[in-house]
Amino acid sequence: GGKFFVGGNWKCNGTTEEVKKIVATLNDGKVPSGDVVEVVVSPPFVFLSLVQSLLRNDFQVAAQNCWVKKSGAFTGEVSAEMLVNLGIPWVIIGHSERRSLLGESNEFVGDKVAYAVSQGLKVIACVGETLEQREAGSTVDVVAAQTKAIADRISDWKNVVIAYEPVWAIGTGKVATPAQAQEVHSELRKWLNANVSAEVAESTRIIYGGSVNGANSKELAGQPDVDGFLVGGASLKPEFLDIINSAT
């Protein structure tokens, strides 16, 4: 996989004051250089410009979602073009909270990834199974179907990072074991190898998300197919710096 990637998904959290505090903490942190780790933080839309203006310039920003049309009568949506216009380089697409709470299907997520990529955005595309699906033994089938809906719609993977986020591990404190994460990451890489290309399988970063913290990130980062993290709760705290430092 490529350069280690650490994303911080702030979800629907923060006030202007809190955002300024988080950014100040990140700006003061000691982390490996930009050729060792790529760091991307994702505040809510309303704080994107503020964070971008204050954040150290070796870190980047991501939106948490975007729309599939340039502009028009789509109340409440923000287009990929608008993000590009603001100079926002990254977007998270298909987070499990949007899939489950807002009904985003595999196909719609695939359409969004393809549209965002076509506009020049870099995409963190999220996949992951529920506890029920894991217990039914369908984890690999579920993440393969989610990945296929993306693969069917894009040909260039160079601006795509896959985030494997088992739903049962998100916000629960129940982190996947390093072996569980490694197994699914390896299956995803095999799927890319068989269905896209050996080159894409080799170069695409597959990052893990779900209850990652400063205490468990090092061991997870040591797994051969874990190319980084997408961090929720801990990305709002100073320990996000420890997670970034687990890259080395």
Q: Which residues bind ligand 13P (CB under 6 A)?
A: 9, 95, 165, 170-171, 209-212, 230-234
Q: Least distance (Å) from ligand 13P to the CB of residue 199?
A: 27
CB-based contacts of 30, cutoff 8 Å, min separation 6: 241, 245
Nearer to ligand 13P, 142 or 196 (CB): 142
CB-based contacts of 85, cutoff 8 Å, min separation 6: none
Annotation marks residue 165 as catalytic: yes
Nearer to ligand 13P, 95 or 112 (CB): 95
Nearer to ligand 13P, 1 or 7 (CB): 7
Q: Least distance (Å) from ligand 13P to the CB of residue 9?
A: 4
Annotated active-site residue in 95, 97, 104, 187: 95
Q: Least distance (Å) from ligand 13P to the CB of residue 73?
A: 30
If DSSP codes are grouped into helix, strand and coil, which group holds residue 155? coil
Q: Least distance (Å) from ligand 13P to the CB of residue 198?
A: 29
**Closest by CA position to 192, among listed 178, 203, 181, 179:** 203
d(Cα 78, Cα 221) in Å, to the nearest integer?
Answer: 33
Query: Kind and range of the H or E element at 137?
Result: none
Q: Whose CB is nearest to ligand 13P?
A: 232
**Closest by CA position to 150, among listed 120, 176, 115:** 115
Query: Kind and range of the H or E element at 69?
Result: none
Annotated active-site residue in 38, 165, 185, 187: 165
Q: Least distance (Å) from ligand 13P to the CB of residue 143?
A: 15
**Closest by CA position to 111, among listed 149, 77, 59:** 149
Nearer to ligand 13P, 43 or 201 (CB): 43
For 198-201, the CB contacts below 8 A with 24+ separation are 200/157
Residue 28: count of CB within 10 angstroms of its CB = 10
**Closest by CA position to 106, among listed 73, 138, 153:** 153
Nearer to ligand 13P, 19 or 196 (CB): 19
The set of catalytic residues is: 95, 165
